[in-house]
Amino acid sequence: MISKRFVAKRLLLLGPVLFGVATVVFGILHLSPGDPAIAIAGDRASQEFIDQVRRDLGLDDPLWQQYLRFLRDTATLEFGQSYQVRRGTDVSAILADRLPITIELAILGQIAGLLFGLPLGILSAVKKDTLTDHFSRIGALTGISIPIYWSGPLLILLFAQILGVLPTSGRIGSSHFIDSRTGFILVDTLLAGDMAAFQSAVRHLFMPVVVLGVYSMAFISRMMRSSMLEVVRQDYMRTARAKGQGAKTTIMKHGLRNAFIPVITIIGIQFGSMLGGTVLTETVFEINGIGTLLVSAINQSDYPVVQATVLVFAFMYTLVNLFVDITYSILDPRIEQ
Amino acid sequence: MNDNDSTVSRRSFLKSAGSATVVATAAGSVSGCLGGGGGGGSTLRYGRSSHSDTLDPQNTTSGEVAKVTNQIYDGLIDFQPGEATITESLATDWSMDGEEVTLQLREDAQFDDGTDFTADDFVATYRRFVDDEYEYHFEEASAYGPFTLGNWIDSVSADGDYTLNVTLTQPYAPFLRNLAMFAAVVLPQDGIEGDLDFNSDANGTGPFQLEELDDSNGRILLTPNDNYWGDGPNVDELLFIERGQNSTRTQALVEGELEIIDNLAPTNIESVEEEDGVAIESGQGINIGYMSFNMSRVEAFRDARVRQAISHAIDTESIVNEVYSGIAEQADQPCPPALFGHNDDLSPYAYDPEEAQSLLDETEYSDGFSFELTTFQNARGYNPAPLPTAETIRTNLEEIGIEVTIDERQFSDYLTYTSEGRHDASLAGWYTDNADPDNFYYVLLHPQVDSPDGQDWVDWGTEGFNTSNRSAWANQEYMDLVEEAQRTADEDERASIYAEAAQIAHDEAPWVYIDYADEIRGVRNNVSNYTVSAIGGPHLHLVDVE
């Protein structure tokens, strides 16, 4: 069993990590060129107007004062209001709107990666040095090597423009308006009982999920293969076989659990990378998750949105890693020590 | 299209917020259909490059927001579809006598919640925008507050329900056109003084009403306003959809997912032209793309002969025809030809490196000099290819011994850098706000401070200096003419004053005049009665979709 102390210790570590991220993002934003007051006021504004905007936003205060204010607000989860991306709207409301979109995409991508990556890795290990293994390894290498900003447009070209069977962008067809209950479009369309909308969402999400899934699948299958190869050589596997257990049962019962430990790490790290990957995927497929939100906010010097979005990314990444550690210690209780 | 709970509750809220009169009117509208119509199940889908960052016309200077809010709200005055001339809207008649402006208002206009439009609505709108003593003043009001109304209005008062008296701070001829700008549309007094969140909700007198704002998917759905006083709308639904990439937007048009798209790059225009069922529609733009010389910073630019030499050395014809694929025309003066302030007798500086060299030889810069050319990265309507433009300029100027370093910046950084006067020269451009020549002559080339004796430029740090004048040019004769035109009500008289100002601006060359870009749209063939407008609109309530 996992101890509460272990979880509490890891949760406490979240604080310094987020503090570090907050400080770095604040520093980068304030040291990079571009004045939000000018971006907000636009090119029609007089200098007097721009100065007023700067005063209203507290951007004319000394940097250390702005930093302390930012830390205080962050600590109380007061991210302020968006300067530009969604003017005058609370950043937390914007994030609440956009976050499920990214999470849904990342989860679907991860599921796709696991569904194909795990069997492929096991098969590759079991059939080591056969044609199946070679194909699987080439496939994995290709998956890792193709960047999303290339595979995305390639799929669009093939499925949307040449074959014309899938839509190029967005999450749902223009004629479908669905109440946002969970923010997950597949769930919401099902809750609404609108199968046409659900099918539309599936068609829209197919390519983004494939792009994310292929990338993840490649990593998972490679790690699963090498981990499995390592495990099948272990004494306990030989003992199990010697006691008359079938090959399939030995692998499923004894091999998989032990081979899974390093794979779990990869899945965790992959999920983190996938959150980063959604920035590219969302941009390519024009999906309004927090990836595209971050890009727009950076382009428009929308400090509150950039700061909050990066913190959310960091928080999720850290949280996923915590879950990985917890799962780890469940699979192998010695790790907690 | 599916109805949904949030839609129903929003509509219910607005309807229930009205008075008994509202109920009666709403009932009337159901049986009698006061103007608002719909076209038998048709939907008009308009694809654009970005989603609205607000629905509040007083909280933005963005044209993307205006495309939507112009469907929901009316101004007192409007622009004719496809024209640069003004026409009646909520005001049916007006007069301007020096500083006094009187407007007669329409008596049959109602907001979409059924309340009557009156002069008090405009007074509240004005006060929300610029009057910081008003209890409901909007603190986050955009720069258009002072730019459009605040700088020019001394007082506004309602004389009964349907007459407005406005006193200006000075005789100011462009004022009526300012009233036609999207930022000056009329908001409901009830909403301003009540709890209507203009950022995400709306209640206007325009042809459409807000049905659904879907930020998650970059969509805004509008339906006909049954209380609309004018013609149309001719469709049952108007859907604005964000398709950020030019290629996907074009693809969506070609495949019939959209009826109209804007912001097309030259390559997309070619793909639309090659397809059946879609066509390119264009109109004369009201904009200019140019290169500014920062005279406050670079000494060489203070000599008019150097500026003229550079104007002759840059092949703007080739930029327009080759780099911009011919979707623009060569510029020769600050004011584009669509406006009455354009001087038809002028012509672009001819590309003539020899003439350029001989002009340069007359100055102390005959051996050349160097400067940095600041440009933005992404295409804008008046400059569809900023970097290739800058590279052409660099190559051209090499021929006369001038060395150019290109400084490419992301747009908000570019704005900061150039508005602080840190550029030597910059690629720049302007879309009209109000289709008045003053919006080019005064806003972009008048320093709005006195010109120092004996020099035709001002120091960037001068208090009150108009930083939109990216050249820091301050030609006294030009300034006097532009100020005189501001005070002159008669349009013909203004035109002749501007013709003189244009001649000076052409000869003195404070800018390299590059182009006036066309307005280009991709339109499906099942769309009719759509007019490409460079100002105002788009007038989508007049559009039919088969």
DSSP B169-210: SS--TTHHHHHTSGGGPPPPHHHHHTT--TTT----SSSEEE
**Which residues of chain B make contact with A286, given a CB cutoff of 8 A?**
218, 242-245, 248
For B279-329, the pLDDT digits (tens) are 999 999 999 999 999 999 999 999 999 999 999 999 999 999 999 989 999
**Segment B30-57 mean pLDDT:** 72
Determine, for residues A97 and B218 on separate chains, whether the beta-carbon distance falls below 8 Å. no
Give the model's pLDDT for residue B303.
96
Tell if the CB–CB gap between B200 and A89 is shorter than 8 Å. yes
d(CA A159, CA A211): 13
In a mutational test of the A interface, the residue from B49, B238, B248, B275 whose CB has the highest number of chain A CBs within 10 Å is B248
pLDDT in the model for residue B5: 36
Whether A81 and A303 have beta carbons less than 8 Å apart is answered as: no
What residues contact B327, with CB distance under 8 A and at least 6 apart? Answer: B266, B269, B282, B384, B517, B518, B520
Whether A43 sits inside 8 A of B142 (CB atoms) is no
CB < 8 Å to B140, chain A: 87-88
Which residues face A87 on adjacent strands?
none
B513-536 pLDDT, tens digit per residue, is 999 999 999 999 999 999 999 999
Q: Shortest CB distance from A44 goes to which of B51, B53, B143? A: B143
Q: Is residue B9 scored above 80 in pLDDT?
A: no
Tell me if chain B has a CB within 8 Å of the CB of A34: yes
Chain-centroid distance of CA A290 in Å reads 10
Residues of chain A with C-beta less than 8 angstroms from the C-beta of B144 = 44
Token pair in block for residue B477:
């004769």
Contact in structure between A309 and A297 (CB atoms under 8 Å)? yes
Task: Quote the CA–CA distance of B128 and B138 in Å, as a whole number.
Answer: 5
Angular region, B160: left φ>0, alpha ψ -120 to 50, beta rest: left
Angle at the Cα of A46 from the Cα atoms of A45 and A49, rounded to 5 degrees: 80
pLDDT < 50 regions, chain A: none
Query: Residue B10 — very low, low, confident or very high, per pLDDT cuts 50/70/90?
Result: very low
Model confidence pLDDT, tens digit, residues B180-195: 999 999 999 999 999 9
Task: Taking residues B480-497, report their average pLDDT.
Answer: 95
Nearest Cβ partner for B143 among A34, A42, A98 = A42
B-chain residues within 8 Å CB-CB of A50? 419
| B507's tokens | 């000869």
- B59 touches A87 (CB < 8 A): yes
| Confidence class for position B4, pLDDT limits 50, 70, 90 | very low
Question: How near does any CA of chain A get to the CA of B1, in Å?
Answer: 6
- H helices of A194-302, in order, are 195-232, 235-242, 247-250, 256-285, 290-299
pLDDT band at B460 (very low <50, low <70, confident <90, very high): very high
Kindly state the average pLDDT of the residues B471-475.
Answer: 97
Per-residue pLDDT tens over the stretch B366-415: 999 999 999 998 888 899 899 999 999 999 999 999 999 999 998 878 88
Is the pTM higher than 0.90? The answer reads no
**Has residue B14 got a pLDDT over 70?**
no
Chain A neighbors of B468, CB-CB under 8 A: 43-44
CB-based contacts of B126, cutoff 8 Å, min separation 6: B149, B153, B156
How far apart CA A74 and CA A15 sit, in angstroms, is 11
> What is the per-residue pLDDT for B32?
33
The closest CB to that of A42, out of B61, B245, B465, belongs to B61
More confidently predicted of B6 and B149:
B149
For residues B379 and B512, give the distance between their C-alpha atoms in angstroms, rounded to a whole number. 19
Place B40 in a pLDDT band, splitting at 50, 70 and 90: low
DSSP state of B148: I
pLDDT at residue B57 greater than cutoff 80 = yes
Contact state of B410 with A299 under an 8 Å Cβ cutoff: yes
Quick check: B245 and A169 CB within 8 A?
yes
Q: Which of B3, B6, B53, B545 to mutate to test the interface with A (most CBs of A within 10 A)?
A: B53
Burial of B479 (0-12, 13-18, 19+ CB in 10 A): buried
Give A252→chain B minimum CA distance, Å.
Answer: 43
DSSP H or E run through B448 = none
Interchain pair B143, A49: CB under 8 A: yes
How many CB atoms within 10 Å of residue A229?
A: 15
User: Taking a C-beta distance cutoff of 8 angstroms, is the pair B258, B218 a contact?
Assistant: no
Radius of gyration of chain B (CA): 24
* Six-digit token string for B166: 């406005």
Are the beta carbons of A169 and B248 separated by less than 8 Å?
yes
Compute the distance between CA of residue B471 and CA of residue B296 in angstroms, rounded to an integer.
Answer: 7
* The pLDDT of residue B20: 35
Residue B423 has pLDDT above 70, yes or no: yes
For chain A positions 273-292, those within 8 Å of chain B (CB to CB) are 286, 288
Q: What is the average pLDDT across B233-248?
A: 92
- ipTM, two decimals: 0.83
Lowest mean pLDDT among A153-167, B76-90, B157-171, B359-373: A153-167
- DSSP annotation of B40: S
Share of chain B above pLDDT 90, in %: 79
Place of tokens 């009455």: B340
| Cβ–Cβ below 8 Å for A299 and B411 | yes
- pLDDT at site A1: 55
Q: Which of A186, A288, A290, A302 to mutate to test the interface with B (most CBs of B within 10 A)?
A: A288
pLDDT (0 to 100) of residue B34:
36
Separation between Cα atoms, residue B291 and residue B169, nearest integer Å: 33
Instruction: Name residues whose C-beta falls within 8 Å of residue B122's C-beta, 6 or more positions apart in sequence.
Output: B76, B90, B105, B156, B158, B164, B186
Question: How far is Cα B546 from Cα B542, in angstroms, rounded to an integer?
Answer: 13
Strand locations in B13-171, DSSP E? 43-48, 77-79, 86-88, 91-97, 100-105, 153-158, 163-168
Closest residue, chain A, to B444 (C-alpha): A44
Is residue B23's pLDDT more than 80? no
Across the interface, whether the CB atoms of A38 and B415 are under 8 A apart is answered yes
Interface test with B, best of A94, A169, A282 (most B CBs within 10 A): A169
Q: Which two tokens stand for residue B384?
A: 């569809």
**pLDDT at site B378:** 82
pLDDT on residue B21: 36
Encoded amino acid at B464, one letter: G
Residues of A in contact with B243 (CB under 8 A): 169-170, 286
- What pLDDT, on a 0 to 100 scale, did the predictor assign at position A2? 62
Contact call for A177 and B416, based on CB within 8 A: no
- pLDDT (tens digit per residue) in B337-355: 999 999 999 999 999 999 9
**pLDDT for B110:** 97
Lowest pLDDT segment from A178-182, B29-33, B258-262, B318-322: B29-33
